[in-house]
Amino acid sequence: MDDGDRRWIESMPTAYERGLVEPVFIPFAKEIARRAAARHPARVLELAAGTGALTRELVSTLHGAALTATDLSAEMVDLGRGNAPAATWQPADAMDLPFEDSRFDLVTCAFGVMFVPDKRACFAEVARVLDAHGTFLFAVWGRLDQHGFQACVVDAVHEVFPDDPPTFLETVPHGYADTEVIRADLDAAGFDTVAIETVTLPLVAETAADVALGYCQGTPLRAQIEARGSLDDTTNAVAAELARRFGGHPIRTSMAAIVVEAMPR
């Protein structure tokens, strides 16, 4: 898929926030914020902050730290600023950071690195803006079969479009799930990997309909569905499959992410 297909635009951040943030992103935001607090950072940069799920957790755990939150999407930055006003928000591409060298002692990112086309360029920028003793703390999704909702959404959209299925979830959110590739990219950008581990958490959402709305209309999967057929019919088909697989109200399964801590060499 081309870079345009990775962007969060127009109404997508609102559907993302309504359907996905609480069940899918807040549990890992709490986990990452807990790890960030253990480092006692004073100057923190968040990349790909989206609507501010991790930002809010960082604000409540990192007392007194100066927090700068960034995202490529201006729409995300607007929503995020409203959700976490204690942070300083600005648009920024993670591959071209508008900050001077050694400006931060922690750079963090929840589920954004997978979207960056050139990981090594992004990691080199992170190394540049980090203090020599700083930490890069980030999470990416693990394998697709370790994420109950996302595996189910993939199966459901394959049923709807069997001849030409959308590939967004497999190739982008779950396209950076190899720990050896992550280690090699960090090494090439001048980092030592301090810790890299797969963390599995429970995944619980109030309704299948909201989760289906979040994935089908609140992520770049939306453009791939619209290019093939009806957005509403596909959203309904995904909701029905989520409810069939995981129960009615709430729906429950589990999800795994790779959590990484690295330091500049």
- List interacting residues with ligand SAM (CB under 6 A): 6, 8, 21, 25, 29, 47-51, 53-54, 71-73, 76, 93-95, 110-112, 115-116
Q: Give the β-pairing of 251-264 and 191-205.
A: antiparallel
Name which of 87 and 110 has its Cβ closer to ligand SAM.
Answer: 110
Q: How far is the CB of 162 from ligand SAM (least distance, A)?
A: 27
| Shortest distance (Å) from residue 31 CB to ligand SAM | 11
Quick one: 65 or 243, whose CB is closer to ligand SAM? 65
Minimal distance, residue 32 CB to ligand SAM, in Å: 9
Residue with tokens 């729409």: 75
**Complex with ligand SAM: residue 92 or 251, whichever CB lies closer:** 92
For the CB of residue 244, give the shortest distance to ligand SAM in the complex, in Å.
Answer: 25
Task: Report the SS3 class of residue 131.
Answer: strand
CA angle 168, 157, 250 (to 5 degrees): 100
- CB nearer ligand SAM, residue 58 or residue 65: 58
Residue with tokens 């370790």: 146
Please give the helix or strand (H or E) that residue 183 lies within, else none: helix 179-188
DSSP conformation class of 181: H
What DSSP element (H or E) covers 264? strand 251-264
Pick 87 or 94: Cβ nearer ligand SAM: 94
How is residue 21 annotated by DSSP? I
